[in-house]
Amino acid sequence: MSGSTNTLMLSFLLWLLFTFSIVDSCICRASSDEAACISSERHALLQLKHHLLDPSNRLASWSSHADCCKWTSVVCSNVTGNVLQLHLTTSFRIMQIIGNEYYTDYYEGSPFGGEVHSSILDLKYLNYLDLSGNNFGQIQIPSFLGSMTSLTYLNLSRAGFGGSIPFQIGNLSNLIHLDLGGNDFDRIIPFQIGNLSNLLHLGLQGALTYDENVEWVLPLSSLQYLELNYVNLSTSFDWLHVLHSLPSLTDLHLLGCHLHHHFQPPTINFSSLAILDISFSYSNFGASMIPKWMFELKKLVYLRLRSNHLHGSIPDGIQNLTLLQHLDLFDNSFNSSIPHWMYSLTSLNFLALSYNDLHGTISNSIGNLTSLVTLDLLGNELEGTIPKSVGNLCNLRNVFFSNKKSNQQVFEILEIFSKCVLHKLESLFIFDSLLFGNLTDQIGLFKNLVSLELSYNAIQGTIPASLRNLTSLKYLGLSNNQFIGNPFEILNSLSELQYLSIQDNLFYGVVKEVHLANFTRLIVFSASRNQLTFNVGPNWRPSFQFLMVLKMESWHLGPTFPSWLQSLKHLRSMDISNSMISESIPTWFWGAFNNANYFNLSQNFIKGELPNIVINSTFISGVHVDLSWNKLSGELPYLSSSVSHLDLSSNKFSGSITHLLCPKQDKSKSLEVLNLASNNFSGEIPDCWMIWPYLVTLKLENNHFTGNLPPSMGSLAFLEMLHLRNNNFSGKFPANLRNSSKLISLDLGGNQFSGVIPSWVGPSLFNLKILRLASNKFFGSIPHQICDMSLLHILDLAQNNLIGNIPKCINHLSAILVKSTSSNSYIICFGNHSSSIVDVLLLVKGRVDHYSSILGLVTNIDLSGNKLSGRIPSEITSLKGLRFLNLSNNLLSGQIPQSIGDMGSLLSLDFSRNQFSGFWGVIGPLLYNRSWRHAYFEFIDDLWFKIRLLNDEAFQK
């Protein structure tokens, strides 16, 4: 071999060796993840950190002395060391339950704030940027982000941005994923976004706060994924015309978009559509049925139409979608039986027909749906038993049934599931189905169960020992049954439990530390209203340190205040009411729970003065505090601005309420519900209500207040319930209520108000359902404008000095004209964060009764104890829905209207102590009115009692 050849070969070998050494070095660096980041990029990240607010120090690893590729939230190239991805999101903690997500507002670390600095531009190879879930204080999205053309993924959703969306975003031509949702932009999406012709994935969830059209998507011919969730399309009548022109579209998500569906395209161009989600979108604009164009989407495998108020029969057109695998019609108003053709959709692996009005039976043909993984039929009116053929669906993992007309034994349900289902089932919900009998040991055979829900049945006996075998169980609901014994002697071995609900049973016994030791993963603990005693040492620390919901109402926790609560730093909701606690609230309590928004310590024996309720919560508002029915005393505390619901009723507070209502810092408060009823407060009400502009409910009854209502109470524009009964208020009817048009319930009874009832009460307070002015000193006639209150169904003007005739227009009270068929027995006042149930005291049949839970069904007119004269107007007999009528102790004369018997809903009628002629003329209609027969003997007893009293009085005279 020549020298030149040897030299060439040696050079080649040296080159090859050098090349291999480089490749080997790269491979080693890639496999060991040892590539160090670029110095300039490390500096850029430190600049970015400097301008971010990081309250929980999540970026503690971002140090100038460390390799930035090893920093948290940073992903680098293993080969070059360039920063490729930044994951600066603040995510919600999610607990997986029954196939759906159970979302909480608990953050994995505090959200970032501050600003996004331009140093991020030095990350030349960055392709993935996620800033979602943060709080950037409504600043504008930095326009320089439009220069980062290497980006393929940009997620700025729920990041607290505001202002307008910079048009420079339209320059990011390599974007595959764009999500700008959940911010508060004051301008529509810029038209330049339509220049992103290479875009494959677009997410704009919640990005548009104004009505918007969607024509800007037309140039995006390559778009495959389009998400416009919560974009308001209510005025975009051509949304379908635009979207159906996207031929490559496979995924379309229009959740909560307020859609119209009037346009029916002659042909459907997005024939490639495979996934369609139009949930919560049609409810405001009345798509009564599923639009027909959906039935032409022959490639559709996923159809989700939740909560759209769709009604009628489930349309036959769905059977044309032969490739359908996922059908979700949850929470609509379909009122047919399950159509037989549905049992032929053999490709279905997910079927949700829950919370409709479906009736009839479940056909045995359901066994044909052999691909089913999830079957959800909760919340319907289905009859009959669960077919045995369900046990042949060997792919089933999740089963959800509720059948209020079933009345099956528990073991019959469990025996349905054959071996092919038994060992695969992960979720079993038999909810509100009249199941009875004992829960047998057979339940222990379902060893792969993750979720078990048997609440709202009539199951008896103890929890079987075999339940210990369900070691994978994360969700267990046994509430509202008739279980007995100590449940924790069985449940204490279920170490994977995250959700436990056993409230409203007959459980009893002593719960010790050892019973709860394995619950290290528990997030929800709901065990109220049983007969359980908690016996733990003074230094006990719960094992469930991530608990968010604690419900232990009616446990025996006292007499000492449970100090172990202090360690539950993640607690969101706490109910330890009626638990025999008699110590005062410790000083550490209100500042211990930064994530909490619900505190219920009512119905205890807690004593002493109440410290200032300063809650250092992550919630700006919406905190609920209930300390009612205790023995608290002294002055009222200072109130944190985050509290929206405060109930201090039925305590021993005394003195003035000025300290609470008129703090030195006169900033507006977010309080919506204030209940100070049944204490010993006295003096006049201070005039500083202007700093409580969001009050919806104000209850000051059963105290010793005096004087007039202050003028600033007229500033409470959102007030719906005002109860001032049983005080010593005086003066004329409060003129400052004239602008309180949202009032639903007004109770001024048992005071010293005087003067005439003003004529503006009817037209100004037109939303009133309850008007109670009893036991005051009002005089003059009843203004006929009261008849304009079309929603009024309780009118109590008893025990005043009213004169004149009963207004003939009383038949204009349209809420009482017909018998109520409403299933809602409560009257509720709603605020933005709080609600309260209206209650009232009524004198009926000689006794005072408290109405709350059935108040929505009560109709009452009480004009007794006045000086009303003339005849009873015949128009009053038109009030077919009236249940209680009391006109006693007046100066009424003439004959009782013969048509009084037409008032078929009456349960109590009192005309005593008047000057009628022919009073017994009413008895005939009473006897022969069919709807009165059940109450007849009670009526006669009550009537005889009143007649006897009248005779006794006459005899004494």
Nearest to 910, CA basis, from 953, 846, 849: 846
Q: Is 784 helix (H, G, I), strand (E, B) or coil?
A: helix
Per CATH, the homologous superfamily of domain 734-746+758-917 is Ribonuclease Inhibitor (3.80.10.10)
Contacts for 517 with CB less than 8 Å, ≥ 6 apart:
492, 543
CA 467 to chain centre: 32
- Which pair of structure tokens corresponds to residue 904? 């078929």
d(CA 767, CA 789) in angstroms, rounded, equals 7
pLDDT digits (tens, 9 = 90+) for 667-676: 788 899 999 9
Whole-prediction pTM: 0.79
Superfamily of domain 584-712: Ribonuclease Inhibitor (3.80.10.10)
* Strand bridging mode 847-851 / 840-844: antiparallel
Separation CA 751–CA 728 (nearest Å) = 5
What is the DSSP annotation of 340-371?
Answer: GGGGG-TT-SEEE--SS--BSB--GGGGG-TT
Total count of residues recorded for the chain: 957
Q: Determine whether domain 436-580 maps to CATH 3.40.50.150.
A: no
pLDDT at 409: 85
- Give one DSSP letter per residue of 899-950, joined into a string: GGGG-TT-SEEE--SSEES-GGGGHHHHHH-GGGGGGHHHHHHHHHHHHHHH
In this prediction, residue 953 carries a pLDDT of 41
Residue with tokens 């250092």: 616
Which fold does the domain 35-207 belong to in CATH? Answer: 3.80.10
Residues 133, 771: Cα–Cα separation, whole Å? 47
What kind and span of H or E run contains 24? helix 3-32
Phi, psi of 808 (to 5 degrees): -65, -20
Is residue 725 within 8 Å of residue 749, measured between CB atoms? yes
Q: Output the CA torsion 5→7→11→17 (10° steps).
A: 90
Same fold, 436-580 and 584-712: yes
What is the model's pLDDT at position 205?
A: 61
Residue whose pair of structure tokens reads 């104004």 in the numeric block: 210
Alpha helices in 287-418 (DSSP H): 410-416
Strand bridging mode 891-894 / 867-870: parallel
Nearest Cα to Cα of residue 526 among 544, 514, 513: 544
**Residues of the chain where predicted confidence (pLDDT) is lower than 50:** 1-33, 93-107, 187, 208-211, 284-286, 920-937, 939-940, 943-957
The residues spanned by each domain of the chain are: 35-207, 436-580, 584-712, 734-746+758-917
Note the pLDDT of residue 187.
45
pLDDT of 464: 95
Produce one character per residue of 149-178: b if its CB has 16 or more CB atoms within 10 Å, e if not: ebbbbbbbbbbbbeeebbebbbbbeebbbb
Helix spans in 625-688 (H): 658-661
H and E: helices and strands count for the chain: 11, 62
Contact 728, 705 (CB under 8 A): yes
Residue type, 832: N
φ, ψ dihedrals at 634, nearest 5°: 85, -160
Q: What is the pLDDT of residue 195?
A: 61
